[in-house]
Amino acid sequence: MNTVKAVQHYVDKMVSSTAVPGMKVLLLDRETKGIISMVYTMSQILEREVYLVETLEAAHESMMHMKALCFLRPVPENIALLKEELKSPKYSEYHIFFSNILPQDYLRQLAEADEHCAVKSVQEFYADYYAINADFFSLNLGQSLSLSGPRASWPSVTSRIFDRAVQGLISALLSMKVRPFLRYSANSEVATLFTRKIQSEIKNWYELFDFRRTEGSRTVLLVLDRRDDPVTPLLMQWTYQAMVHELLGLRNNRVDMSKVPGIKPELREVVLSAEQDPFFAANCYANMGDLGEAVKELLDSYQAERSTHDNIASVADMERFVERYPELRKRSTAVGKHVATMGQLVRFVDERALMDVSGTEQNVACSDGQTAQYREICEHIANPAVTKVDALKLVMLYALRYETARSSHLDELKAALVRDKGLSGEQLRWIDALLQYGGAAVRSGDLFGNKSIISKVARSMKRSVAGVANVFTQHEPLVTSLLDQLARGKLSKTAFPFQGPELSAAPTNVIVFILGGATYEEAAKVAALNAAGTGPHVILGGTFVHNSRTFLDELAMRGSSSFGGAAGGAGGAAGGRI
């Protein structure tokens, strides 16, 4: 299973010259434009006899010598736009591809609107999700933390997010051609409702899910709730892809560098895609130290190659330079992109004392030691280099770990935030909002490994035997332990029951879907598990891809303040600063 190749397969079929020969224009909506951009560059699309790419809603002139390929989500807005387009066709033919299951009523409406018989084909190509990495996808649904609230009190926007999440996951399952066994977090109301809805949709569209199961292939869909692990989104990240998202913001594999002082015009927006960038593919999960070495080697290699072309002494030298110029220019752009990105990451780490802050974050998340951790957090709050939001995250992590302690000293830390960082009373309430969202009373499992003597001893033994290779990456997300238990057949059927038929044997493939959003730390752990090849192949998906800013912003959504800034999320930029 490979989410990127699944989407690429549909795009290839759509734009291939054998399917629709001749000159073509590609009409997209806002979402499908982003979905395609994750797996193909514009130049790659234009190489397939596609001479123009536009959005369906844009005004476009008549070009009857061209054929229109329409790749759209099957939603009322797009149906209305198509009906309007078909009243007065601008192109000789229309080949319509919907990214998900098309309701029969929509098909009837299109047939009635096609008075000029311009529509030549209507097909369903199941690419209704954003393929970030080969084993990681998102639906770009902001505000999806609201799904964890009681179903009876959902506003209409949350109900729409739920429906879109169902549609997106159904599309992903169809694109990967799997009919999975279903498991879910029983403690979560939304995970329970969601899994039942997925089961219902699979039954309703049984003929679409009538895949022949490969001998020995067993796929499990595990539905989780973000509230069961509110720690992971709060932590500073130290692998390339995750660091970029945490400090700069990564939206549809793109980084906005336009506000960087003195940035070159061609680097105002950079693309970080494993499919399009060999260096990023090789270093996507590299830690900061290894990444610095890799960027230096990339720069040295480019400079060495460029120096061979500095002295042109003959016609033969000129010919060789002309032949190599496009490749040199391409390498120059790649080098400039990664050097500039790395420079910004280093600047933020230094200016915000993030190595010191992160060390304390990891200690709080991974080990006991309340007194020492309290003193460290007080020191960070008093440090002018530590930002308001970084100080607040430390207190939030402390509040989660020591929520049930006899004396947590949380009030003293809140007072320090007001005194030294200038946080308002309203902003302090986000600490309580976090505990209401993902505190011990509502989350399932043993997130900190401290609910029993046995779990404490086991955790201590594991750390002493295995050691810690890097103090900044010692944290293990909850999903890692759940996948380990699932692979060994030890995942509790009480806490994570089956919905429908049960699988008695070990799974060969697992699709984890996190309602409320996943993180790049979890994606990196999944990639490491897949690279090890000792267990089932894992695909991670989520309603959103969080960094700490977007996570805090969604917690604060009911209030007037926001914790956002430069590091916007995968589904949209964050709000204003505190």
Q: Encode pLDDT of 10-20 as tens digits.
A: 999 998 877 78
Q: Does residue 7 form part of some domain?
A: yes
Residue 107 shares a structural domain with residue 146: no
Question: 69 and 25 in contact (C-beta within 8 Å)?
Answer: yes
Q: Which of 127, 156, 173 is the last residue of a domain?
A: 127
Q: Does residue 343 form part of some domain?
A: no
pTM: 0.90
Residue 521 shares a structural domain with residue 541: yes
Residue 47 shares a structural domain with residue 113: yes
At 87, which CATH number? Answer: 3.40.50.2060
Residue 120 shares a structural domain with residue 9: yes
Q: Does residue 300 form part of some domain?
A: no
Q: Does residue 508 form part of some domain?
A: yes
Q: Is the pLDDT reported for residue 575 higher than 70?
A: no
Residue 123 shares a structural domain with residue 139: no
Bridge partners of residue 119, in order along the sequence: 94
532-571 per-residue burial string, b: 16 or more CB within 10 A, e: under 16: eeebbbbbbbbbbbbbbbbbbbbbbeeeebbbbbbbbbbb
Q: Is the pLDDT reported for residue 209 higher than 80?
A: yes
| Beta-strand runs (E) in 236-357 | 254-256, 269-271
Residues 111, 113, 118, 122, CA torsion sign? negative
- pLDDT value, residue 452: 43
Question: 474 and 366 in contact (C-beta within 8 Å)?
Answer: yes
As a whole number of angstroms, the distance between CA 552 and CA 531 comes to: 32
| Beta-strand runs (E) in 73-217 | 93-98, 119-124, 130-133, 136-138, 181-184
| Beta-strand runs (E) in 34-167 | 50-55, 67-72, 93-98, 119-124, 130-133, 136-138
Domain boundaries, position 41: 3-127
Q: Is the pLDDT reported for residue 311 higher than 90?
A: no
Q: Does residue 20 form part of some domain?
A: yes
Q: Does residue 179 form part of some domain?
A: yes
pLDDT tens per residue across span 34-78: 999 999 988 888 888 899 999 999 988 899 999 999 999 999 999
Rounded mean pLDDT of 240-266? 91
Residue 107 shares a structural domain with residue 21: yes
For 429-492, give the secondary structure using H, E and C. HHHHHHHHHHCCCCCCCCCCCCCCHHHHHHHHHHHHHHCCCCHHHCCCCHHHHHHHHHHCCCCC
* Tokens, residue 525: 């752990």
Contacts of 36 (CB under 8 A, 6+ apart): 7, 11, 28, 45, 71
Task: Look at residue 210 and give its three-state secondary structure.
Answer: coil
Q: Does residue 93 form part of some domain?
A: yes
- pLDDT value, residue 314: 54
**Residue 415: what residue type?**
A
Q: Does residue 271 form part of some domain?
A: no
Residue 18 shares a structural domain with residue 109: yes
Q: Which of 95, 127, 159 is the last residue of a domain?
A: 127
At 205, which CATH number? Answer: 3.40.50.1910
Q: Is the pLDDT reported for residue 567 higher than 90?
A: no
As a whole number of angstroms, the distance between CA 56 and CA 226 comes to: 35
Domain count, the chain: 2
As a whole number of angstroms, the distance between CA 183 and CA 330 comes to: 46
